[in-house]
């Protein structure tokens, strides 16, 4: 039975020494176990020591009690130049009734470090199963998200509508009016929640490279954050989520690690605690080691979140942290409900605005890559080496059309990613107009298609097109499509508004002059009529459409600018 060679498993019974006041596993202890397991997986692939660079958002779905078993499984998803992504799955097992349940899932980034200091160039991971192929493909998109995380935060804080919403908020409104309401008088000063703690890094806290163990630093950070949250509500809080851990520099044995935490903001039933770790040795200045933001809730006896008191931030730095906490909450919601949820759990058309653009783009590409990675496609029809495949699952019908074209992959990518050109070869496109050019990789179009019946109305679609060049050799070019809604382009009575769940192209290099082009579509009710006769074997219009596409690419390949589109950002 096949097993991923980088996979590492760890099982641990939760003892009282691992537990908190509620006889539940301390999250700090869990983070240490997760980090060490993931590090072993990374080193198994790298063949040399690895250090933790970052850990993505973690959402804790359940707690783990004393006497229960924690099962941790880690495996490397993809290797880049000197870094790799490792997926970490945590489940809990009850030994008395045999029940198992998911606790959390996380993605960690590790960097390989050669003992001699030489630069390490990691060998590529080769995915063997459908699940591995999906994770390997999407890992590049997740890495892109990590690299632009700081820019997303800055854009939201500079957004006029976001600033307006803060200005109209409770705290700013009260300060600007100069009045003191009862709520403001009852607000907890943030200074009261402030925590500072110093830890001396001993050999027992170090890893096998004599650096401070990353899991230990995260555990110390969780400890001071919990104290800060407790001071706000005078109760024991429960940690529900952690924003990305990002290690900015190493710490070693003999360092004094200064850990600081403070409540940044409260949101009715939850609070955000900011925590940072800094290190120094002797008389040297403080070095920033790590920062994170943790979301806590306080549960009542029935397990329901309690209402939390508002906070009164300090005038300068406190106000900045207060505003940034609101921005991070929006980012958390976008990431959780746009990125984390399954495609089938999302509404077809999600409202688009600049603040959630990055996450919609991610989900757009993610959905297409997951669809392409499926291995249960069934050949439905083939004509002159143009193949039509179908797949039925989750009460939906998906189809793909595949063929090779004598055009370089980069050229085909440039031509197919411009939807305004599609009406030249696709008879289902009566009109395609560009609404918004979000950036170089994302555009929003309005597409008008013919009526599916003689007396019916024409249909239109508002589509976001997200394009991605390959991250590495062997990766495809991707053009992903999905429906979005815009306040400026509402449905009208004379046109039926259609929706696209997931569609787009993958384009692979076969040779320097030939590309394999595959078109995918997770057919919605509005799309299915255009392809139903092909699927039923009553026509071969899919072939004529692809033939038109091939002709268009051949006629225009000289017009496309010659450029190497392998992603430089990744």
Taking the C-alpha atoms of residue 537 and residue 471, their distance in angstroms, rounded to an integer, is 38
- Cα dihedral sign for 330, 332, 333, 335? positive
What is the full DSSP assignment across 120-148?
P-PPPP---SHHHHHHHHHHHHHHHHHHT
Region of poorest pLDDT, from 158-167, 406-415, 515-524: 158-167
- Whether 568 is in a domain gets the answer no
Which of 443, 399, 451 is CA-nearest to residue 421? Answer: 443
Residue 158 confidence (pLDDT) above 90 = no
Domain stops at, among 321, 343, 365: 343
pLDDT confidence bin for 549, thresholds 50/70/90:
very high
Residue bearing the bigger pLDDT, 137 or 344: 137
Instruction: Match 């070693």 to its residue by tokens.
Output: 252
Provide the pLDDT for residue 141: 86
> Are 233 and 140 within one domain?
no
Of 161-170, 447-456, 461-470, which has the strongest mean pLDDT?
Answer: 461-470
Provide the pLDDT for residue 344: 47
pLDDT confidence bin for 173, thresholds 50/70/90:
very low
> Are 71 and 201 within one domain?
no
Mean pLDDT of 179-202: 80
> Are 551 and 416 within one domain?
yes
The contacts found for 270-273 with CB under 8 angstroms, 24 or more apart, are 270/240, 270/295, 270/296, 270/297, 270/305, 270/308, 271/229, 271/232, 271/233, 271/237, 271/295, 271/296, 271/297, 271/308, 271/311, 272/325, 272/328, 272/329, 273/193, 273/225, 273/228, 273/229
The packing angle between helices 409-416 and 541-556, to 10°, is 110
Provide the pLDDT for residue 175: 44
Question: Using DSSP, how many helices (H) and how many strands (E) does the chain show?
Answer: 12, 25
CATH number of the domain that residue 388 is part of:
3.30.530.20
pLDDT in tens, 234-246: 899 999 999 888 8
- Whether 370 is in a domain gets the answer yes
CATH number of the domain that residue 301 is part of:
3.10.129.10
> Are 104 and 239 within one domain?
no
pLDDT confidence bin for 392, thresholds 50/70/90:
confident
> Are 323 and 418 within one domain?
no
- Cα dihedral sign for 358, 468, 401, 425? positive
Provide the pLDDT for residue 297: 94
Mean pLDDT of 2-18: 95
Provide the pLDDT for residue 308: 92
Which of 83, 82, 87 is CA-nearest to residue 41? Answer: 87
How many domains are contained in the chain? Answer: 3
Provide the pLDDT for residue 169: 55
Residue 454 confidence (pLDDT) above 80 = no
pLDDT averaged over every residue in the chain: 86
> Are 339 and 458 within one domain?
no
Tokens linked to 108: 């960690």
pLDDT confidence bin for 178, thresholds 50/70/90:
very low
> Are 374 and 485 within one domain?
yes
Residue 418: give the domain boundaries: 348-556
Instruction: Match 């900045």 to its residue by tokens.
Output: 320
pLDDT confidence bin for 352, thresholds 50/70/90:
confident
Tokens linked to 36: 């060490």
378 C-beta neighbours (distance < 10 Å), count: 9
Provide the pLDDT for residue 560: 67
> Residue 416: phi, psi to the nearest 5?
-80, -25
- Whether 566 is in a domain gets the answer no
> Are 332 and 412 within one domain?
no
Taking the C-alpha atoms of residue 51 and residue 86, their distance in angstroms, rounded to an integer, is 12
> Are 219 and 309 within one domain?
yes
Residue 403 confidence (pLDDT) above 90 = yes
- Whether 377 is in a domain gets the answer yes
- Whether 16 is in a domain gets the answer yes
Tell the burial category of 153 from Cβ atoms under 10 Å away from its Cβ (0-12, 13-18, 19+).
Answer: middle
**What is the pTM (predicted TM-score) of this model?**
0.81
Residue 170 confidence (pLDDT) above 50 = no
Residue 405 confidence (pLDDT) above 60 = yes
> Are 361 and 330 within one domain?
no
> Are 14 and 84 within one domain?
yes
- Whether 391 is in a domain gets the answer yes
Provide the pLDDT for residue 532: 60
- Whether 563 is in a domain gets the answer no
- Whether 255 is in a domain gets the answer yes
Provide the pLDDT for residue 179: 42
Tokens linked to 202: 């001993």
Contact 207, 213 (CB under 8 A): yes
> Are 391 and 309 within one domain?
no
Domain stops at, among 343, 370, 388: 343
Mean pLDDT of 93-103: 93
**Per-state percent for the chain, helix, strand, coil, to nearest 5:** 30, 35, 35
Mean pLDDT of 481-504: 89
Domain stops at, among 135, 158, 181: 158
Of 7-11, 135-139, 187-191, 423-427, which has the strongest mean pLDDT?
Answer: 7-11
Provide the pLDDT for residue 397: 83
Provide the pLDDT for residue 548: 92
Region of residue 11 (left: phi > 0; alpha: psi -120 to 50; beta: else): beta
Provide the pLDDT for residue 301: 85
Provide the pLDDT for residue 561: 64
Residue 550 confidence (pLDDT) above 60 = yes
Mean pLDDT of 13-20: 94
pLDDT confidence bin for 118, thresholds 50/70/90:
confident
Provide the pLDDT for residue 161: 66
């Amino acid at each position: 039975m096949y097993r991923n060679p980088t996979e590492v498993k760890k099982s641990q019974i939760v003892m009282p020494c691992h537990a908190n006041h509620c006889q539940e596993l301390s999250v700090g202890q869990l983070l240490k176990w997760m980090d060490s397991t993931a590090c072993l997986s990374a080193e198994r692939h790298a063949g040399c020591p690895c250090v933790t660079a970052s850990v993505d958002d973690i959402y804790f779905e359940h707690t783990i009690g004393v006497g229960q078993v924690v099962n941790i499984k880690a495996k490397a998803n993809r290797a880049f130049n000197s870094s790799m992504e490792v997926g970490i799955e945590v489940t809990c097992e009850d030994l008395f009734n045999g029940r198992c349940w998911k606790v959390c899932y996380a993605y960690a980034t590790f960097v390989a470090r050669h003992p001699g200091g030489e630069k390490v160039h990691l060998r590529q991971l080769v995915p063997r199963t459908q699940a591995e192929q999906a994770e390997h493909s999407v890992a590049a998109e997740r890495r892109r998200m990590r690299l632009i995380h700081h820019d997303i935060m800055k854009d939201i804080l500079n957004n006029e509508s976001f600033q307006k919403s803060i200005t109209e908020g409770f705290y700013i409104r009260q300060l600007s009016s100069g009045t003191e309401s009862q709520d403001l008088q009852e607000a907890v000063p943030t200074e009261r929640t402030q925590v500072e703690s110093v830890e001396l890094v001993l050999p027992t806290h170090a890893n096998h490279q004599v650096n401070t163990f990353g899991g230990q630093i995260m555990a110390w950070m969780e400890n001071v954050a919990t104290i800060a949250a407790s001071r706000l509500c005078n109760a024991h809080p429960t940690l529900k989520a952690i924003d990305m851990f990002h290690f900015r520099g190493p710490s070693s044995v003999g360092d004094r690690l200064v850990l600081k935490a403070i409540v940044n903001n409260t949101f009715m039933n939850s609070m955000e605690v900011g925590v940072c770790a800094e290190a120094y040795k002797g008389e040297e200045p403080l070095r920033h080691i790590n920062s994170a933001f943790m979301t806590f809730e306080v549960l009542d006896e029935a397990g329901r979140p309690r209402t939390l008191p508002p906070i009164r931030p300090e005038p300068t730095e406190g106000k900045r942290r207060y505003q940034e906490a609101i921005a991070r909450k929006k980012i958390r919601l976008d990431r959780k409900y746009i990125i984390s949820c399954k495609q089938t759990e999302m509404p077809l058309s999600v409202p688009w605005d600049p603040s959630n653009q990055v996450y919609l783009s991610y989900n757009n590409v993610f959905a297409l890559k997951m669809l392409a990675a499926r291995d249960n496609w069934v050949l439905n029809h083939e004509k002159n080496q143009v193949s039509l495949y179908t797949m039925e699952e989750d009460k939906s019908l998906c189809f793909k059309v595949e063929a090779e074209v004598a055009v370089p992959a980069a050229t085909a990518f440039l031509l197919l990613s411009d939807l305004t050109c599609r009406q030249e070869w696709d008879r289902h496109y009566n009109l395609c107009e560009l609404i918004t050019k979000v950036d170089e990789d994302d555009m929003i179009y309005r597409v008008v298609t013919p009526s599916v019946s003689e007396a019916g109305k024409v249909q239109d679609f508002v589509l976001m097109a997200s394009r991605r060049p390959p991250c590495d050799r062997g990766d495809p070019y991707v053009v992903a499509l999905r429906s979005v809604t815009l306040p400026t382009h509402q449905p009208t009575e004379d046109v039926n508004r259609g929706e696209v769940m997931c569609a787009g192209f993958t384009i692979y290099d076969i040779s320097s002059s030939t590309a394999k082009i595959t078109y995918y579509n997770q057919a919605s009710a509005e799309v299915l009529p255009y392809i139903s006769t092909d699927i039923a074997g009553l026509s071969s219009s899919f072939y004529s459409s692809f033939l038109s596409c091939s002709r268009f690419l051949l006629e225009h390949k000289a017009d496309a600018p010659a450029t190497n589109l392998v992603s430089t950002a990744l």
